[in-house]
Structure 1
Amino acid sequence: MPVPNRNGLKITQLDVKDVRFPTSLEGHGSDALHTDPNYSCAYVTITTENGKQGFGLTFTCGRGTEVIVLIIRSLKRFVVDKNAADIYADFAGFWRTITNDSQMRWIGPEKGAIHLAVAAIINSLWDLWARLENKPLWRLLVDMEPEELVSTIDFRYITDVITKEEATQLLKEKRAGKDDRVEYLIKNGYPAYTTQVGWMGYSDELVNELCKKYLSLGFTYFKVKVGRNFEDDYRRCSAVRKAIGPNNYLMVDANQAWSVDEAIEWMKKLSPLKIKWIEEPTSPDDVLGHATIAKALAPYDIGVATGEMCANRVMFKQFLQSGGMQYCQIDSARIGGINEILSVYLMAEKLNVKVCPHAGGVGLCEMVQHLQFWDYASLSGTAQGRLIEYVDQQHEHFCDPCVVENAKYLAPKMPGYSTQFLPGTVEKFAYPNGSEWQRMFKEGIMPLPDEAELVNA
Structure 2
Amino acid sequence: MVLKITNVTVRDVRFPTSVEQHGSDAMHTDPDYSVAYVVLDTDRGEKGYGLTFTLGKGTEIVVCAVEALAPLLIEKSLEEIVGDFRGFYRLLTSDSQLRWIGPEKGVIHLATAAVLNAVWDLWARIEGKPLWKLLVDMEPMQIISCIDFRYITDALTEEEALEILVKAQESKQQREDQMLKEGYPAYNTSCAWLGYSDQLLKKLCTEALNSGWTKFKMKVGANLEDDKRRCGIVRQAIGPQNTLMIDANQRWDVAEAISWVSSLAEFKPLWIEEPTSPDDILGHAAISKALAPLGIGVATGEQCQNRVMFKQFLQASALQFVQIDSCRLGSVNENLAVLLMAHKFRVPVCPHAGGVGLCELVQHIILFDYISVSASLDNRMCEYTDHLHQHFTSPVVICDAHYMPPVDPGYSCEMLESSVQMHQFQKRGGCE
Runs ≥4 in structure 1, deviation > 4 angstroms?
A: none
Query: What is the 5 A alignment of 1:37-186?
Result: 37-186=31-180
> Following the alignment from structure 2 to structure 1, what is the Cα–Cα distance between the partners of residues 402 and 362?
13
> Following the alignment from structure 1 to structure 2, what is the Cα–Cα distance between the partners of residues 322 and 213?
40
Question: Does the 8 Å contact 2:245/2:272 carry over to 1?
Answer: yes
Q: CA deviation at 1:423?
A: 2.8
Cα deviation per residue 1:156-178 (whole Å; 9 max; x = unaligned)?
A: 00000111111111100111100
Question: Does the 8 Å contact 1:27/1:201 carry over to 2?
Answer: yes
Structure 2 residue aligned with 1:383: 377
Question: Does the 8 Å contact 1:8/1:48 carry over to 2?
Answer: no
Question: Does the 8 Å contact 2:2/2:79 carry over to 1?
Answer: no
> Following the alignment from structure 1 to structure 2, what is the Cα–Cα distance between the partners of residues 42 and 181?
34
3-state DSSP class of the match of 1:455?
coil
> Following the alignment from structure 2 to structure 1, what is the Cα–Cα distance between the partners of residues 48 and 324?
22
3-state DSSP class of the match of 1:386?
coil
> Following the alignment from structure 1 to structure 2, what is the Cα–Cα distance between the partners of residues 75 and 267?
42
Identical counterparts, % of pairs: 56
Structure 2 residue aligned with 1:294: 288
> Following the alignment from structure 2 to structure 1, what is the Cα–Cα distance between the partners of residues 56 and 2?
36
Structure 1 residue aligned with 2:193: 199
Cα deviation per residue 1:119-173 (whole Å; 9 max; x = unaligned)?
A: 0000000000100110000000000000001100000000001111111111001
Q: Report the TM-score, using the length of structure 1 for normalisation.
A: 0.93
1:273 pairs with 2:267: yes
Q: CA deviation at 1:309?
A: 0.1
Cα deviation per residue 1:96-124 (whole Å; 9 max; x = unaligned)?
A: 01111111111101000000000000000
* Stretches of structure 1 lacking an aligned partner (at least 5 in a row): 1-6, 433-448
Cα deviation per residue 1:60-93 (whole Å; 9 max; x = unaligned)?
A: 0000000000010011111011111100000000
Q: CA deviation at 1:456?
A: 6.7
Q: CA RMSD in A?
A: 1.0
Q: CA deviation at 1:8?
A: 4.2
Structure 1 residue aligned with 2:312: 318
Structure 2 residue aligned with 1:230: 224
* Stretches of structure 2 lacking an aligned partner (at least 5 in a row): none
Structure 2 residue aligned with 1:261: 255
Task: Tell me the amino acid that sits aligned with residue 319 of structure 1.
Answer: F
3-state DSSP class of the match of 1:355?
coil
> Following the alignment from structure 1 to structure 2, what is the Cα–Cα distance between the partners of residues 422 and 382?
35
Corresponding residue to 2:9 among 5, 15, 31:
15
Q: Report the TM-score, using the length of structure 2 for normalisation.
A: 0.99
3-state DSSP class of the match of 1:344?
helix
Structure 2 residue aligned with 1:407: 401
1:284 pairs with 2:311: no
> Following the alignment from structure 2 to structure 1, what is the Cα–Cα distance between the partners of residues 417 and 116?
22
1:365 pairs with 2:359: yes
Q: CA deviation at 1:198?
A: 1.1
